[in-house]
Amino acid sequence: MKITFLGTGTSQGIPMIANNDPVCLSNDSKDKRLRSSVMISWDDTCYVIDCGPDFRQQMLRENIQAINGVLFTHEHSDHTAGIDDLRPFTYKMGEVPIYAQERVIESLKVRFSYIFETENRYAGAPKLTENIIDSSSFTLSGVNVTPIAVMHGKLPIMGYRFGDVAYITDLKTMSDHEKKKLEGLDILIVNALRITAHPTHLNLEEALCFVNEIKPKRAYFTHISHKLGFHAEVQKKLPENVFLSYDGLEIKL
């Protein structure tokens, strides 16, 4: 299995528009972050978690020729706004499966109604197959996938465990019941937004506490804002099994 970090930034990315913070002006490529998304692949199979507004750029950068589906964590724009850029895959492959909570599917139908219309449908719109998920595990191309219920402030969203890899973004709190689903992980990917506290995301201290509680073999932080600091400086302060992810990073298991 291979995990590719398509983007590791927060909702506005780094550099942020109209912001002259030193991190936004950094020349280090690891400080330049597109909106958060990962690709998980094995054999000839490839699934993407979230497709935000940078999805087109991410697919071109990684030279992705086909995907087997997209799993959505929640409906916020930085995780869904690239849905129209699924078009080329549907032209080439037919319908692309999408997986999300029913609430998220309904939100997409409102915001991107032309994609989901059945009458007078726009011919160029991407063709998608809807798959509504709940707390039940399911199988994708032979790999068991377990949804992880996460609270993004007051909004219930989803993380996903693929085998011994878990991807969780926009986490603020999680029940003990859901934490049990994360036992025995090889890789935990979780958000660490910034140094100071935030009402709907883990900050660095909270993310480190979460890693210490879950005890994966390795942890990678994502959904990072410029307020976390320079990649190189923050990485030096982290435990030896905890890493700041960066755009384009690949992990092979």
Task: Report domain extents, the chain.
Answer: 2-244
To the question of domain 2-244 being in CATH 3.60.15.10, the answer is yes
| Global pTM value | 0.97
> Could you give the percent of the chain with pLDDT greater than 70?
100
Count CB-CB contacts under 10 A for residue 253: 13
Residues 150/157, Cβ–Cβ less than 8 Å: yes
Residue 6 confidence (pLDDT) above 90: yes
What span, in angstroms and rounded, lies between the C-alpha atoms of 33 and 42?
25
Sheet holding 250-252, edge to edge: 128-132, 96-100, 69-71, 45-49, 37-42, 2-7, 250-252
> Of the ranges 120-124, 139-143, 166-170, 189-193, which one carries the lowest mean pLDDT score?
120-124
